[in-house]
Amino acid sequence: MSTPTTLTIVYFAWVRERIGKAREEVQTSAATPLELIAELRAREPRYEAAFADLDAVRVALDQDLSTFETPLTGVREVAFFPPMTGG
């Protein structure tokens, strides 16, 4: 995305605990979730802590499980959460 867009970012479980908020609106020019994470990590240490190990984080775009390389074009909500286990 070349022009900034506003995304709603939702955090779950320990990601939310480390960042200290459940959701926020963010202006970003990121083209992928990976670029968005880089922007967030540069903000302050709590984001760096939350995204220190990307193997322990999953992403959903508009409530669909996605990858860190999926384009953010047309996306309105990004959610970050730890992997879920079934039972």
- Classify domain 5-81 by CATH architecture: Roll (3.10)
Give 87's pLDDT tier (boundaries 50, 70, 90). low
Give residue 2's pLDDT.
58
Question: Domain spans of the chain?
Answer: 5-81
Task: Give the CA angle between residues 43, 6, 74 to the nearest 5°.
Answer: 125
Which pLDDT score, from 0 to 100, does residue 84 have?
77
- Environment class of 20 (CB within 10 Å of its CB; exposed 0-12, middle 13-18, buried 19+): exposed
Tabulate helix, strand, coil % of the chain (nearest 5).
Answer: 30, 30, 40
Give CA separation, 39 vs 43, 48, 85, in Å: 7, 10, 29
When pLDDT is averaged across residues 5-29 and rounded to a whole number, the result is 97
Question: How do residues 32-80 score in pLDDT, each as one tens digit?
Answer: 999 999 999 999 999 999 999 999 999 999 999 999 999 999 999 999 9
Q: In which band, very low, low, confident or very high, does the pLDDT at 3 lie, cut at 50, 70 and 90?
A: confident
Contact criterion met (CB below 8 Å) for 5 and 77: no
